[in-house]
Amino acid sequence: MIINDNTKISELIKEDKACIDALASVAKPFHRLRNPILRKVMAPRVSIAEAAKMGGTTVEAIAEALKPLGFAYQKSASVIHTSEQKPEWLATAPDEAILRYDVRPIIESGTDPLKAILGKFKEVPGGNILCIINSFVPTPLIHLLKQEKAEDSYVDIINPEESHTYFLKKKKESESATQADPERKVNMDDADTFQSIYDRYTSAQIHEIDVRALEMPGPMQTILGELEVLPESHMLYVHHKRVPVYLLEELADKNFEIHIQTIEENNVKMMIFAAK
C-alpha cells in the first residue's frame, strides 16, 4: 500500500492490524491505539503527519516502522499541520476569557467526553475561549466544533502526553443566519426537556430504530440511511449505546436538529429531525 503524510491511521489499521504494534514501537503516545475506545476516537480522523506531531516523532520514523509490513511512503505535496504561531485572538485574550477543561480523566475512565465538552462549551460566552486539555489532539472534535460553534481553533502541543486545544466561540451577532441556529443543532437534554420535544410528535410521525446491537460502522450507516428517507415533518428516534461523535460530525453541515439524552451507560436516546 502506498501511503503519504495525509493517510489516516484508520486506513493503515484496516490494511493490517499489525500497524498498531508497529506504531506503538515508534513513540509512547501511540500505545493508546491499543485501547479500542481511544482507537475509535483517534484513528479515523488523524493523519500520519498529525500522528507524528502528536507523538513527538517524524513521518519518516513512522514510515520506516511500517515498511516491513509492506507500506511504501511517498512524501505529500500538501500536508495538514497544526498552527505553529498563536493567533491574535488567543495571544491577546485575558486569562479570565479562557475556560480550561481537562478531559483526560473522563477518557481514561472509558467514557466518551463529547457530552461534557459540549456542556462546557455552552457555558462559554460568545467571543470567549474554551481550552480542552487532552492527551492527544482531538481532531474529530475540532472538525465538529469549527463547523458549528467555533470561529477558530488552535492546537498547542505541550508534550507527547499533553495537548491544549483552544476554541474561539462565535459571537451571536457575528454568526451568519442559517435555517437552524448552530447553537441549537446538537442539544444534550435533561429528561423533562427531552420528553417535551418527544411529545410534539404523534406516533405516526416517529420512526424508531435500535442500533445498540450493531457492530461499527452499522449504527452510523443505519441512521444515515433512515435520515435519507425521513419525511420533513417526522422525527427519527434512536436507541444508541453512546453519543456518536462521528455521526454528529457527519451531520454538522446538514439541516438537522439533534437532541440527546444519556439514560445510563450503554443507553443513549437521540431524536433527529429537520431543523426549522
Mean pLDDT, rounded, for 238-245:
88
Is this prediction's pTM over 0.85? no
Q: Are 219 and 227 in contact (CB under 8 A)?
A: no
Q: In which residue are the cell numbers 462559554 written?
A: 124
Q: What confidence category does residue 38 fall into, taking pLDDT thresholds of 50, 70 and 90?
A: low
| HSE value, Cβ hemisphere, 13 Å, CA-based, for 119 | 12
Task: Could you please state the CATH topology (level 3) that the domain comprising 88-172 is classified under.
Answer: Rossmann fold (3.40.50)
d(CA 131, CA 96): 12
Mean pLDDT, rounded, for 256-273:
90
What is the β-pairing status of strands 235-240 and 206-210?
Answer: parallel
Q: What confidence category does residue 212 fall into, taking pLDDT thresholds of 50, 70 and 90?
A: very high
d(CA 110, CA 128): 29
E strands within the chain? Answer: 2-3, 72-73, 98-102, 129-134, 150-159, 162-169, 186-188, 206-210, 235-240, 256-264, 267-274
Which pLDDT score is estimated for 122? Answer: 86
Residues of the chain with CATH 3.40.50.150: 88-172
CA dihedral 115, 120, 121, 125 (to 10 degrees): 160
**Largest distance between two CA atoms of the chain:** 59
Q: What confidence category does residue 183 fall into, taking pLDDT thresholds of 50, 70 and 90?
A: very low
Q: What is the H or E stretch that residue 90 is in?
A: helix 88-91
Mean pLDDT, rounded, for 228-234:
93
Which of these, 151, 50, 186, 165, lies nearest to 103 by C-alpha position? 165
Could you give the C-alpha distances from 108 to 102, 135, 165, 169, 236, in angstroms and in order? Answer: 11, 10, 18, 27, 32
Task: Convert the pLDDT of each residue in 76-117 to its tens digit.
Answer: 654 444 445 789 999 999 999 999 999 988 877 767 677 788
Task: Convert the pLDDT of each residue in 47-83 to its tens digit.
Answer: 888 788 777 789 999 999 999 999 999 876 544 444 4
Task: Convert the pLDDT of each residue in 113-172 to its tens digit.
Answer: 777 888 888 889 989 999 999 887 776 677 677 756 788 889 888 876 788 999 999 886
Residue 47 DSSP label? B
